[in-house]
Copies of this chain bind each other. A is one copy, B any other.
Amino acid sequence: MKNLLDAYTKTRRHTQTLCKPLQTEDYTPQSAAFVSPPKWHLAHTSWFFEEMILKKHCDNYDVFDASYAFLFNSYYNSLGERIKREHRGLITRPSITDIYEYRQHIDAKMKTVLSNSPSKTIRELTILGINHEQQHQELLLTDLKFTFSHNPTYPRYSNKNYISKQDTTKEWLSFNADVYKIGHTDDSFSYDNELGAHRVFLEDFKISKDMVTNADFIAFINDNGYKSPKFWMDDGWHWLQNNNISSPLYWKFVSGEWYHYTLSGLQPVDVDAVLTHISFYEASAYAFWAGYRLPTEFEWEIASNQLSWGSVWEWTNSAYLPYPNFKVAEGAVGEYNGKFMINLMVLRGASLATSANHSRYTYRNFFSPETQWQFSGLRLAK
Q: Which residues of A pack against B, CB within 8 Å?
A: 23-31, 39, 67, 70-71, 75, 77-78, 83, 87, 89-96, 147-148, 150-153, 155, 177, 179, 198-203, 205, 229-230, 232-237, 280-281, 284, 288, 293, 317-319, 321-322, 324-325, 328, 339-343, 345, 369
Contacts and interface: CB of A to CB of B under 8 A. Distances in A.
Interface centre among A39, A148, A321, A328 (most CB of B within 10 A): A321
Contacts of A70: 152
B317 A318 contact: no
Number of copies of this chain in the oligomer? 4
Nearest to A84: B150
A95 B23 contact: yes
Chain A at the B interface: SS class:
mixed
A357 to B, nearest CB: 28
Contacts of A25: 24-25, 27-28, 39, 92-93, 95-96
Nearest to A156: B93
A143 to B, nearest CB: 12
Nearest to A77: B229
19 contacts: A23-B92, A24-B24, A25-B93, A25-B96, A28-B92, A29-B90, A31-B90, A67-B152, A78-B230, A90-B150, A90-B151, A92-B148, A203-B324, A205-B324, A236-B342, A280-B342, A281-B342, A343-B343, A343-B369
Contact of A321 (B199, B317, B341): B317
Contacts of A328: 288
B233 A341 contact: yes
Contacts of A199: 177, 201, 203
B233 A71 contact: no
A341 B83 CA distance: 35
A67 B153 contact: yes
